[in-house]
Amino acid sequence: MDNRPIGIFDSGVGGLTVASQVIKQLENEEIVYFGDTARVPYGNKSKEIITKFSCQDVRFLLSKNVKAVIIACNTASANSLDDLINKFDVPVFGVVVPGAKEAVRVTQNQKVGIIATIGTVRSDAYKKAINIVNANVQVYSKACPLFVPLAEEGWANEEITRLTAEKYLKELIEKGVDTVVMGCTHYPLLRQCLQSVVGNEVRLVDPAYETAMAIKEYLVKNNMLRVAETKPQHSFFVSDTTDMFEKICSKALEKRYSTEEIDIESY
Ligand code: DGL
């Protein structure tokens, strides 16, 4: 038994889609979430800066006495997971490997598309993780930077989002992929639109769900689940207070939470 909370960090609000899955799959666990809203986006930054920011994010979570850390941000998972594992004495989980494993499991024709930020595509992390599991799977990646602001704007079902998705996804559809990994925290918020563009026969993989299942397996195996009669209390921290957080929070977690602002530069 380990009653300490699970730490989750993201570059901002997008990681709430991951927090939502963790809360659903591990309903007795407490969450400490940090969204780096002052320094978002991470998606177009260099590996060095992403890793520097991620280290600060982990240090903050450790100050809250977390028992494990989930990197909800695909860009940080893709660029900084190994550095964080080596640097910190706490189990650290990224979203890339669970998402990659699921893509390999579901593809029938061995053609997988990855949609993600520029930083995630540049790292090739999904391709590498997929090909470790199955070297025969062909991976086609496409950076879709405009999806992040569209999701944050709440334009999940607007014409502009559909047109943008059609343009971004054209290449992947032409390659004949039967599976597309939504390799960015925000994309599950656009799921309906993405599905209608790729067609119902293409499987969309959400790494958030797979990550929540992976951490559940780890906590069970290591006897680290929270055992308590009281209802779990979640806490949310940001580096800059914005309306966006509450907006996405009510959408992703179907509940309003208040946030506390912290100075991430001091970690
Ligand atoms: N959280 C980032 C990701 O999943 C998207 C937003 C950003 O660029 O920071 O890659």
- What would the pLDDT profile of 208-220 be if each residue is shown by its tens digit? 999 999 999 999 9
120 lines ligand 1 (CB under 6 A): yes
Give the residue from 66, 127, 128 showing the smallest Cα distance to 93.
Answer: 66
40 lines ligand 1 (CB under 6 A): yes
73 lines ligand 1 (CB under 6 A): yes
pLDDT at 247: 81
CATH of domain 6-93+209-266: 3.40.50.1860
The fraction of the chain above a pLDDT of 90, given in percent, is 91
DSSP conformation letters of 130-161:
HHHH-TT-EEEEEE-TTHHHHHHTT-TT-HHH
The pTM is what? 0.95
**pLDDT above 90 (res 67):** yes
Look up residue 57 and give its DSSP letter: H
Which H or E run contains 80?
helix 74-87
Reply yes or no on whether 73 is catalytic.
Answer: yes
Are 112 and 224 spatial neighbours (Cβ–Cβ below 8 Å)?
no
To the nearest whole number, what is the mean pLDDT of the chain? 96
**pLDDT above 90 (res 233):** yes
Q: To test the ligand 1 pocket, which listed residue (9, 21, 42) has its Cβ within 8 A of the most ligand atoms?
A: 42
10 Å CB burial of residue 161 (0-12, 13-18, 19+) is: buried
The first and second tokens of residue 31, run together, are 């969450």
pLDDT at 201: 97
Burial 104-113 (b: 16+ CB within 10 A, else e): beebeeebbb
54 lines ligand 1 (CB under 6 A): no
Query: Which CATH fold would you assign to the domain 96-207?
Result: Rossmann fold (3.40.50)
Rounded to an integer, what distance in angstroms lies between the CA atom of residue 262 and that of residue 267?
A: 10
Domains 6-93+209-266 and 96-207 share a fold: yes
DSSP bridge partners of 92: 69
Q: 255 pLDDT band (50/70/90 cuts)?
A: confident
Q: 246 pLDDT band (50/70/90 cuts)?
A: confident
Rounded to an integer, what distance in angstroms lies between the CA atom of residue 4 and that of residue 100?
A: 29
Domain residue extents for the chain: 6-93+209-266, 96-207
Distance 46 CA to ligand 1 centre (A): 13
Q: Whose CA is nearest to atom 6 of ligand 1?
A: 41
Mean pLDDT of 149-166: 94
Distance 114 CA to ligand 1 centre (A): 14
Q: What is the pLDDT of residues 70-111, one digit of tens each?
A: 999 999 999 999 999 999 999 999 999 999 999 999 999 999
Q: What is the pLDDT of residues 160-188, one digit of tens each?
A: 999 999 999 999 999 999 999 999 999 99
pLDDT at 66: 98
Mean pLDDT of 106-130: 98
Mean pLDDT of 134-149: 97
Rounded to an integer, what distance in angstroms lies between the CA atom of residue 179 and that of residue 72?
A: 21
**pLDDT above 90 (res 252):** no
- Angle, in degrees to the nearest 10, between helices 16-25 and 243-252: 40
Mean pLDDT of 41-62: 97
